[in-house]
Structure 1
Amino acid sequence: MEGSAIAQFVPLILIFAIMYFLLIRPQQKKVKEHQKMVESLRRGDQVVTQGGLIGKVMKVKDNNELEVELSEGVKVRVVQSTIAQVLSKTEPAKTDS
């Protein structure tokens, strides 16, 4: 009887393992990559928001906000996590040593 009870749980365990490796783990990896991308944003980067707006980062503020210029003279405040993609990165400032 105990053997059959354990045998009934084996398919459930296999289903959970498959779900973990096919769905949960890749999603966690994607979230970490997005977080890393958002943290590396700096002035001059050209970005796309989740709403589809393309603009240039003018300011990175402390409270997870960016100031993005959509066109000349049109600036909007955007939450950092709503950046979907970075189109072009600016070169890091060179340090004279």
Structure 2
Amino acid sequence: MNLQSVFLQGAPEGGFGVVQQLLPFLLIIVVFYFFMIRPQMKRQKELKKYREELKKGDKVITTGGIYGKVAEIKDAHVMMEIANDVLIKIDKSAIIMDMSDAQAKR
């Protein structure tokens, strides 16, 4: 028994059985793409652009919830001032937003 005969056994006389069975799955994939995957990719692209455009003096928040100000920028890390004369070294990927975004969300 070949694969074609297996698909055609349950098909109506029009021969569209396989297409009708796959249509709901295709619709689910399209919905997932437009409502979940595409917006997430857009957010990741905006965050990457934000991290690349960081400059000295920007107020930022880390993924750990630390608020501070950028004091120095290197290739892969940032020196962040969290209090007077208190600097910490963090990875650029740990920066999630600037504090003006945080104020707007409240």
Would you tell me which structure has more strand in proportion to its own residues? 1
Q: TM-score scaled by structure 1?
A: 0.84
Residue 16 of structure 1 and its aligned partner are, at CA, apart by 0.3
Are 2:58 and 1:76 equivalent residues in the alignment? no
Task: Work out the number of aligned pairs and report it.
Answer: 87
**Residue number in structure 2 paired with 1:8:** 21
Identical-pair percentage: 37
Residue 6 of structure 1 and its aligned partner are, at CA, apart by 1.4
Q: Could you tell me which of 23, 35, 38 is aligned with 2:48?
A: 35
Would you tell me which structure has more helix in proportion to its own residues? 2
**Aligned partners of 2:42 and 2:97: how far apart in 1?**
16
**Aligned partners of 2:77 and 2:46: how far apart in 1?**
19
Unaligned residue ranges in structure 2 (runs of 5+): 1-10, 101-106
Which 4+ stretches in 1 moved above 6 angstroms? none
Root mean square deviation of aligned Cα = 1.1
**Aligned partners of 1:24 and 1:87: how far apart in 2?**
26
Q: TM-score scaled by structure 2?
A: 0.77
Higher relative contact order (CA 8 A, sep 6+): 1
